[in-house]
Structures are given as structure tokens and as C-alpha cells.
Chain A
Amino acid sequence: MVGIFSRHRSLALLASVVLAQLLLLAFQIKRDHDIRLIRYWAVGIMSPVERGGTWGFSSIRGIWTGYIDLHNARKENQQLRAELGELQLRNRELESQANEAQRLSAMLSFHEAHPEAPILAAQVIGASADSASHTLFINRGTRDHIHNNMAVVTPDGVVGKIVEAFPSTSQVLLINDRESGVGALFAASRTHGVVKGSGDPDPRLDYIVNDEKVKPGDVLLTSGDDRIFPKGLLIGTVIDSKPALPFQLIHVQPAARLDRLEDVLVLLSQQEFEPKKTGEASVPLIPDAPPEPSASATDLSAATAAAAGAKPLAANANAAPTAAAPSASSTKPNDSAAKPHAAAPGQNPPVAAKPAAVARQ
């Protein structure tokens, strides 16, 4: 190097002098944004070096952190997996508690919305061993003043009725059981029928003549004709309907989730619920007050009740339907006593087919 410089001393000096003057110029000349040329050059020279240095440093650091410094990764991974499992378990517990709190809150809201109705909360503790029957067991019995034929509901809708009351437990017959029947009416048209179990998850609405216009989504309420369920409780909505003989074949979607019940309410009396007040939207069991039925229907119902000479139901919690009064809830497919009479074509079936009238307090 020194030898080359010595041999070309004059050229090296020339280059040095020219370079010095270039630097002198660079200090004076300004480019865009009043930046001196020497700064442009300095940045231009240093930037690639800086980029290269940054790339090299990041590569080395990546190699270190990605490969060399991973000796604790396996242990840390195991710890994190264990923590994740614990947290998932804890999360499931909290979700379960939150769901339970939500259910209890809904039931409390329901009870607060209807303080006039004696209600007893119960937990579902078991179900039927027979897959053909839709029953379940609750943790309340005769010691809690529970008797047969008491209505069982949830804030969402009707569940079923008590069929066997033991000292500390009771068996509930769900509304989709073959043996079940609930007096029902359409919220809009006030047409009466009976919701009966079919063995399928979804019950059917029976005794609706083919002339009656039924469409999916129509709301069904309890009619109170069965002397078990107070009038006006939400049963469910129509899924579909098709003409059949002698009555329409109507499938009903229960409002209560019958397949995942955990907490229920037992109505200790058949006292009719007051229509839902404004601002109680969280209590769907009692829907908005339906339009007042026609005067003729009301009169006919009252007249039928008077003709039947049914005994009035007591508001007492121990009051049970009389055995003499035919009830839709005791309806069997071939039970002619409980089955409404077939309506003549063009006749209003709820009135004509009404099994029994109920005089109310």
C-alpha cells in the first residue's frame, strides 16, 4: 500500500487536493430544503452502512433469540400449557356460574314481576330413564307443599306439570310427552286447541280445523281450560302447519328449552297472572297483553263454563283441579272425555271443541 502510494505520489496528491476541494464545495452547496450537499453525501455514505449494520445485528439477534437462547423454551412451554389448562378450567367454571346467575336472575325477575303468584323455585335433579317418556325430577316434594298437577314453568315458557309428588322430590311430565296435554289458544286469533306431546321434541297443536288460518310464528298461550296452567302463559310458537284429517297438523316450538332445563318454577296455584307490565321485557313468560278477544268469544266461553258447572279454582297453593273436571292436561290420545268434540266445518273450533270451561275468580 505504501509502495503504491510512493510510486503514484503525484496522483495521490492530485486526488487529495481534488477531494479537499470537493468537500469544500459540498460545505457550500445546498440542495433541496436548504440541506448542505455534504450532509447528503454523509447520509448517502452512512445509510447503507447503517442498514447493513442493522440487518447484521438483527440477524445475529434473531439467531440468538430464535435458536441459541431457546434452551428454556420447552420448560416454559410446559408451564404455559399447564397455566392454559388451569385458566380454561377456571374459565369454564366462571361461564357456568355466569349462566347460573343469569338463569337465577331471570327467575328472580319473573317472581318480582308477579309477586301475587305463589311460586316455588326448584332444581332439576334428574330425568326419565325411559327415552320414550319426557319427564324429569326436581328437588322439591310434598314437604314443600307440592302436589300433583301443579304447573311447572320457566321464565321462558311452560314446562309441564307435576305428575308424582314424593316427600322430597317430584316428577314433572313435560309438555312434549305423549301423555301430556295443555289447553292452548292463539294469542292473536284466540282460537283454542290442545298442545299435546307426540314423543318428538316438538309437541303438536291439535283440534284446529283446516279452515283456521295458521302460519309459522303464531304465538300460543295457555288457555286455562286444563285447570292446571293459568291462562296467558307462553307455550311456544307455531313451526309449521299442514292440512290433515280431521284437524290440521301443527308443530309447535316450545318457548322453554325443554332439553336443557336446570332451574324451574313450580306454580303453587292456578292464579292467573297479570299481563306483563311495561318495562318487563326480560320476563317473556307473560307476553304483551293480547288484543281483547271478541265479545262473542268471551261470552261464549263464559256461557260454556256456566253450562259445565265447573267449580271455581281456589287461589290457594294447595288447590288442585277437581277430578270431575275434564282437563286437557290429562288427555290421552284416545281419551274421548278429554278430547274436544270435532268442530263442524265453518264452526269456531275453540268454542265448540272446548273441553271444559273454567270459572275464574
Chain B
Amino acid sequence: MSSMLSAGAHNESNVEVHKYYGGTVIGATFLALLFQVFLHKYGRWAELIDLPLLVTIYFGVSKRNPVSGMFLGALIGILQDALGHDGPIGMCGIAKTIIGYMASSVGAKIDTEHPASRFGLVFILFHLHQAILAVTERALLNQPARFFTPRLLLDSVITAATGVLLFSLLDRLRRQS
């Protein structure tokens, strides 16, 4: 799995590709899912933050490889769906697959080290993630999902702010080249 995720790590572009200590990706993914489930026990405020999405975006941007970012997003999304109790498996999987791919593609082209750019990137990708979910729900589940609500705006701001903090923490796990 780790080999699959590290596939394409040698990016042809001149942007720096970060490497992490062994087990960092898997551990961060596991912890993100664990916290997401764990925090839900303590109230609906936990829904304001989408930790698995932040992990997907972060490692996608850092690896700067669309294939690995895509597979990481697919893995995290499917696990997130599996931990749910009523939704079909694959809804978040599709959304996070696309987000992982796009984050890797964007990370290979622009600087994502600055907190402001990180905030903006997370903000945009959050809404893109919600839009993909809404489209999927409308198309497959035939449910009237909304593309944009004030609540989603609040979620996106909080998630982006959390992402800036989380990304700086995860930066410490980088292996120095």
C-alpha cells in the first residue's frame, strides 16, 4: 500500500517533493479517522471539521503526485464511508479520490507552504468536496442535496483554519532531505 502511495514520488516538475518518516501517512490517516469518529461522540460541533479531508489534501499537496494522492483519497474516503452507519460505501470515496487527485495536481504547480495559500486551498477544496458529494447524492441517491449553505460556509472556514494548524503540525513529520 505504501509503495502504491509512493508511486510517482519522483515528480518530473521542479517543485520540491517532501518525504515523511515511515508510517506517517498511515498513522495520520488512522488518527484522522479515529478522531473524526471519536469527536462525534461529543456533539455535532465535531461535524464542523472534516479531518480526513484535511489529511487527504495535505498529503496530496505534499506528495505532489496525482496517482498517490488519488489512491490516498480513495482509501480515506472508503474508510470514512465504512465507519458511517447508514450511507453507502463510496460516496466520500469518490469525492476524496477527486480531491486527492486535484490537491496533488495543484501542489505540483503552486506554492502551498504559505498559511494563506493553504487556507485558501483548503477552503476551495472543501467546497469542491461538498459539491461532488451533492452531485453524487442527487445522481445516485436521488436526494435533494444542497450545493451551498451558510452552514457549509462556516464549516469550510473552520476546516480551513484547522487545516492551517494541522498542516504546520504535520510539517514537523517531514524527513529532512
Contact = CB atoms under 8 A, between A and B. Distances in A.
Interface of A: 9-10, 13-14, 17-18, 21-22, 24-26, 28-29, 31, 37
A10 B141 contact: no
Contacts of A25: 88-91, 94, 136, 140
B98 A37 contact: no
Given A17-B97, A21-B97, A29-B140, 20 more contacts: A10-B67, A13-B67, A13-B70, A14-B66, A14-B70, A14-B97, A14-B98, A17-B70, A18-B94, A18-B98, A21-B94, A22-B94, A22-B140, A24-B89, A25-B91, A25-B94, A25-B140, A28-B89, A31-B142, A37-B140
Nearest to B141: A29
B70 to A, nearest CB: 5
A14 B66 CA distance: 9
A38 to B, nearest CB: 11
Report the interface size class on chain B.
20 to 34
A10 B66 contact: yes
Contacts, number: 49
B88 A29 contact: yes
Given A26-B140, A31-B142, A14 B90 contact: no
B78 A21 contact: yes
B86 to A, nearest CB: 11
Interface in B32-59: none
Interface of B: 8, 66-67, 70-71, 74, 77-78, 88-91, 93-94, 97-98, 101, 136, 140-142
A80 B133 CA distance: 71
A29 B136 CA distance: 12
Interface centre among B88, B98, B141, B142 (most CB of A within 10 A): B88
Contacts of A31: 142
Nearest to A26: B140
Contacts of A17: 70-71, 74, 97
B3 to A, nearest CB: 15
B93 A21 contact: yes
A17 B89 CA distance: 14
B13 to A, nearest CB: 13
A77 B152 CA distance: 79
Interface centre among A17, A21, A28 (most CB of B within 10 A): A21
Contacts of A37: 140
B1 to A, nearest CB: 14
A18 B74 CA distance: 8
Interface centre among A13, A25, A26, A28 (most CB of B within 10 A): A25
Given A18-B98, A21-B78, A10 B89 contact: no
Contacts of B91: 25
B96 to A, nearest CB: 10
17 contacts: A10-B66, A10-B67, A10-B101, A13-B67, A17-B71, A17-B74, A21-B94, A21-B97, A22-B140, A24-B89, A24-B90, A25-B91, A25-B136, A25-B140, A28-B88, A29-B88, A31-B142
